[in-house]
Amino acid sequence: MPNGTDIAYQLFHAGKNELMSGTTALVTGEEVFPFRASFTKGWRYFYTSDGKIRMRRTGSNSVSTVGFTAAVQLVTPKYTKKRRDFDSPREHEVVGIGSPVLSPDGSSVAFRALNDIYTMRIGGEPTPLFKDQWWKSDPDRSPDGRRLAFATDRSGSLNLWIRDLASGVDTQVTHFTTSAAVSCRWSPDGRELAYLDQNGALFTVDIASGDVQRVFDATFEPGRPTWSPDGSVIALAAVQPYSKRYREGLSKILLVNRRTGEATYVDPARDGERALGPAGRKGRQADREGAPDHHRRQRRSHLVGRLLDGALPQWREAAHRQGVRQVAVRDRQGSAHLAQR
């Protein structure tokens, strides 16, 4: 601040972001944006809140809005538009394949493409499962590999269904009419599915009874949920907002404890950090799953996350640092980063 001794800062508390000096709030009654305020020698300061630039003076309750206009020159780019063949009956290369999931034994893969869900033995030819007009997505193989969970709107709304891969019989799991269920993932014991609703809230459903449990409130554009090996924690990529009023925030990995309801956001650390060995000693460089390469025989639950084109964190059994839980995050360039909890 102008006196060179006091500091102005942002405080995120109780769902609100406030502009503070010491223990005193400089601005109240407004949703202050999380950007640095600018002070003048005359103790005026400029900040942003509620989508506007504001001006105040310390010691005064008066506030004014700084309005402005700006001329924007638009230049229409000149380029040759690509011609696309939508009507020709000839064969085209399939694009838009998504949501691949491996079978538990790693011998086959299921994925969505061309408004169907396909299964394919590795090295073989893909086979469509449904060949119908209903929209479908998010396949996931059961832990025993015998069933495939997926989302489809064949009932009129997006609900979760299960296909018995041996008999071809489909069973409806959820029966929503005014909401939706997508992005499902099997629990390790095969008794539940974790899923997201249309707003991004996290739920679980008991497959046998159909009982639904709300696990966590909606987040902005969350990733697909996944379970820890013991089923006690559900992880997903999520944005931790700066405030409850605005969606701006940081992309993190959200860990939700099923038993306590406790939620923890995990920050990715930068690539190249060194892992801890036994007794907290510095170990050699960690591998891309966050495991010190000289302690691979220590097997514990390890969270591996890939935030890549809508991918998601995934739990798997892997070695990790003694006494430190880690998350491996792979970016769009394929670089691995470590996060620790």
Q: Which amino acid is at 115?
A: N
pLDDT value, residue 333: 46
Q: Which of 47-61, 88-102, 156-170, 236-250 has the lowest mean pLDDT?
A: 236-250
Q: Structural domain tally of the chain? A: 3
Of the two residues 114 and 12, the one the predictor is more confident about is 114
List, for residues 169-186, the tens digit of each pLDDT value: 999 999 999 999 999 999
In a domain, 122, yes or no: yes
Together in a domain, 141 and 58: no
pLDDT value, residue 314: 52
Using a cut of 0.85, tell me whether the model's pTM lies above it: no
Q: Which of 127-131, 201-205, 259-263, 325-329 has the lowest mean pLDDT?
A: 325-329
Of the two residues 3 and 120, the one the predictor is more confident about is 120
List, for residues 291-334, the tens digit of each pLDDT value: 333 333 333 333 333 333 344 455 544 433 334 344 444 444 44
pLDDT value, residue 154: 94
pLDDT value, residue 243: 66
Together in a domain, 119 and 52: no
Q: Decide if pLDDT at 282 tops 80.
A: no
Of the two residues 283 and 251, the one the predictor is more confident about is 251
Together in a domain, 209 and 103: yes
Of the two residues 27 and 308, the one the predictor is more confident about is 27
Together in a domain, 107 and 43: no
In a domain, 261, yes or no: no
In a domain, 79, yes or no: no
In a domain, 116, yes or no: yes
In a domain, 211, yes or no: yes
Together in a domain, 142 and 202: yes
Q: Decide if pLDDT at 92 tops 70.
A: yes
Of the two residues 241 and 152, the one the predictor is more confident about is 152
Q: Among the ranges 116-130, 248-262, 306-320, which has the highest mean pLDDT value?
A: 116-130
Of the two residues 207 and 93, the one the predictor is more confident about is 207
pLDDT value, residue 95: 81
- How sure is the predictor about 119, in pLDDT bands with cuts at 50, 70 and 90? very high
Give the residue from 186, 202, 218 where a domain finishes: 218
Contact 49, 55 (CB under 8 A): no
The domain spanning residue 128 has which CATH number?
Answer: 2.120.10.30
Domain that holds residue 316: 274-340
